[in-house]
Amino acid sequence: MAYSIAVLVSGEGTNLQALIDQFADSSSIEICCVAANNSEAKALSRANEASIPTESFELGNYADRESRDVALADWISTHDVDLVVLAGYMQLLTPGFIDRFPRSIINIHPSLLPAFPGVDAIGQAIEYGVKVFGVTVHYVDHGIDTGEIIDQVSFTPSDPNDAVSIRAKASKVEHELLPSVVSKLAAA
Ligand code: GRF
C-alpha cells in the first residue's frame, strides 16, 4: 500500500506543487488529500487540477480554533494518512490536533532553525544581518517551529540584503528539500 500524505496549505502552494510533481507517477507515495484554512488558496486549485480531494476549514465557520482543528483532524483521518505535511500552512495547530498525529506532522520553514522561527523568517534573518541562509524541515511539536529537525540546507547569497533573490533561492531549495524528506520518511 502507498505511503499516504495529507498536505495542509494556506496560500500559493508552490511547495504542494513540488510534491505533486515529484509523486504524480509514484506508486509508493500518494498525496491523499489537501486541506486549507482559506478557501481562496491557490494551492487548492493546484490540488484540484491534480484530482486530489480538497477541503477548506475556515476559522470563521467554527466556534474556536480547537473545534476547527477537530474537524480538520477528523477529515484527514478519513483518508488514513501516514504523514501530515504543512506546506506553507500559516496557522498554528492546536495541541489537540498535534496529539492526534504523534511524530507524524512535518513543517517546512525558510530559515536555519532554531534561528528565526515564526513569520517572515527571511525578513528577520536579513534584518539581523546573517550571511548564510537556509531552509529546515522539522517535526511539529507544541511550540512555534521548535520540533526536532529532520533536515536542513544552507545557502550563501552573493548579496545578503537582496530579499528578492534570497526568497527565490529559498523557494527553490524548499521545492527540493521537502519532497526529498518525504521520500526518506516513506522509505524508513
Ligand atoms: C514557504 O516559504 C514556507 O517555507 C512557508 O510558507 C511558504 C509557503 O509557500 N512556511 P507556498 O504556499 O508553498 O508557495
Q: What is the tens place of the pLDDT at every residue in 118-171?
A: 999 999 999 999 999 999 999 999 999 999 999 999 999 999 999 999 999 999
Give pLDDT, residue 1: 86
Q: 109, 138, 142, 175: which is the annotated catalytic residue?
A: 109
36-53 tens-digit pLDDT: 999 999 999 999 999 999
175 in active site:
no
Closest ligand 1 atom number to CA of residue 13:
12
The mean pLDDT value of the chain amounts to 97
Say what the pLDDT of residue 175 is.
Answer: 98
End-to-end CA distance of the chain: 15
pTM: 0.97
Give, for ligand 1, the residue of 10, 16, 108, 119 to mutate: max count of ligand atoms closer than 8 Å to Cβ. Answer: 108
% residues pLDDT > 90 (the chain): 99
- Distance from Cα 32 to the centre of ligand 1, integer Å: 20
